Structure 1
């Protein structure tokens, strides 16, 4: 889904600084005072929680606004995990308490939500949803010794930026976008061996990231595409691409772009009587694709994460949710798993220190409803299950 790839193009000043900004911006004294207030409130909240036998954790996401459905799904998963863990004895002999913060999938809002959770004394955050919000939150949480595990942010820059900024307290329980490129490359190499392959991407970070991994994997296999190009998003005509495809006659065209452009490309190709197989990424799991293709999207193939509800480890939780009349989404189950990961690592390290927990997780596996998870040095999952779907008569059908 396209929302998973939202990444802000501008980064703004954190809320705790902006809150006291005057016409010419905050003074050094105002900045120091704001930081000191947040730190004091956080320390007091943590001390109070420890004295009362509580461990405060948070979930942050779009609880309002355009993407509030996803925020509600995350909150449901986090709440159920907290309830289940408490029923089994809690963490470190203490009771988990969940705080909820609304970031609206925005940047200023993410700063505000993260600062709010810091002041409430959380030691772990399940979130955020959008990648731009997760990046903003990570900068605040890392300075406050708070572990962050996102259940949904897939943009590759999230963990790449964290590594560059030496943020070690961020991980995710969902795959990163560009890994799809490797998965698709292996499929293309096996199914189009000895046949020409074309690769094009748009100018987005999402598209370029996937295409780069795909091309690198094909190069490892000794495969050189007959077309390796890039286009600007939102074009109204793809005649140049169609002409290039007519000349090279590839068996398959991989388009690393968003669903609207892929839909228009599919329409242009089918009108031109080109039967080249069209392959793309998970963003094609969007009903709007069919409209953009003007019903000419039959046969378009794409990758997506395997549904978490199919994991045998998740069966009991899935049944409980369905009894409640809720069809579990990946976001709900991933949010549940993120709390499981924190709880297991806190028990293993005998504390809630974020850096110690993150270090432990990079060296050890954790059993969750998503299976046994392991992470690399960036905090990315070492193994992600992708599957294929094909568009047929307006429906994305699993292959």
Structure 2
């Protein structure tokens, strides 16, 4: 081969390598409870992340590259979450969308920080997730949802306005999410000079909570706030109806799933919960909601918060012009983003400014904003 021919071949080979590199897939992770009692929320996150990345890929990808989604199953178990996090590091993912449970997000965040990996949770609401990270000088954690200390204020205000002077019980499942939300609600009650008549922990995963129901009846409780998940709350609702307990039940966002009705049956009617505004009704989400419903899936709960997490990351990557985690984080902190759930503005800790919470009431297996 002549020198000219050899040089031409090398140039062609170099172009081919560069083109292949430019078009190589980039992997992101979505981690949550794909199995176990809270798998419905892991499915919401998985569908949200896959939908968001499919939209990006259909428009040519991100920085010229297609996005793949690696799904990690932590089952809302802290040890399993750390194992999943270490796998993500080995796989070289560019961002972690997750986890769902605060008890998973918090321990996993240490792995991500050590490995310079960005984490955006759409669902973990415990204040410690961002507060403790900020205290340590970490830069890598963000969320697209609100916090328990904001949600707890909403819960407490409702209970004070409707049940002040009556007997209020607060229950929790001992988890970072459940206990965290219960304790923030108690803080709100006590600020209004309302002391709960009963504060009690229960063990998640039990098949029978009649002992708690019996105590609620004997204590003549008028309203019960539960910091916990739909699997246990649904069972308590059913057992309270069977036992003739007439008190009002209320809980938080971990009950935002149609599975609550499947567990509680008709006893879910009248149940109250707090969650962010129903993002399915957000004008910014109209097209995405319609597209997802065409597939037979209703994007309830944290589906759209997961879509928003991917959108925030992708927008920051575009602005930074790189996938480098630290440079991307710099383009999130203190910045605003137009997302499927509206405009999100971040503070210096990685929390969104002014998250909203509203009260919902359940009837006939569906929840709508409570207006009474």
Shift of 1:146: 1.8
Q: 1:79 corresponds to which residue?
A: 50
- Aligned pairs for 1:182-193 (under 5 A) are 182-192=153-163
How many residues are treated as equivalent by the alignment?
A: 344
TM-score by length of 2: 0.74
Aligned mates of 2:303, 2:258 — CA distance in 1: 21
Q: 1:242 corresponds to which residue?
A: 217
Q: 1:316 to 1:218 in 2, by over 3 A?
A: same
Q: 1:218 to 1:352 in 2, by over 3 A?
A: same
Q: 1:61 to 1:265 in 2, by over 3 A?
A: closer
Q: 1:301 to 1:321 in 2, by over 3 A?
A: closer
Q: 1:138 to 1:258 in 2, by over 3 A?
A: closer
Where 1:352 maps in the other structure, the secondary structure is: coil
Q: 1:282 corresponds to which residue?
A: 253
Q: 1:319 to 1:298 in 2, by over 3 A?
A: closer
Alignment RMSD = 3.8
Identify the match of residue 341 of structure 2 among 370, 373, 386: 370
Aligned mates of 2:19, 2:167 — CA distance in 1: 59
Q: 1:341 corresponds to which residue?
A: 312
Aligned mates of 1:63, 1:180 — CA distance in 2: 23
Q: 1:328 to 1:298 in 2, by over 3 A?
A: closer
* Structure 1 gap segments, 5+ residues each: 1-46
- Aligned pairs for 1:9-20 (under 5 A) are none
Q: 1:139 to 1:292 in 2, by over 3 A?
A: same
Q: Verify the 8 A CA contact 2:151 2:181 in the aligned structure 1.
A: yes
Q: Verify the 8 A CA contact 1:279 1:302 in the aligned structure 2.
A: yes
Shift of 1:371: 0.5
Aligned mates of 1:256, 1:132 — CA distance in 2: 14
**Structure 1 residues 44-82: Cα deviation after superposition (integer angstroms, max 9, x where no partner):** xxx999953657241233596446665554344333333
Aligned mates of 1:73, 1:268 — CA distance in 2: 29
Aligned mates of 1:203, 1:95 — CA distance in 2: 43
1:322 aligns with 2:293: yes
* Structure 2 gap segments, 5+ residues each: 1-16
Q: 1:169 corresponds to which residue?
A: 140
Q: 1:214 corresponds to which residue?
A: 185
**Structure 1 residues 321-347: Cα deviation after superposition (integer angstroms, max 9, x where no partner):** 233343334444233221210121223
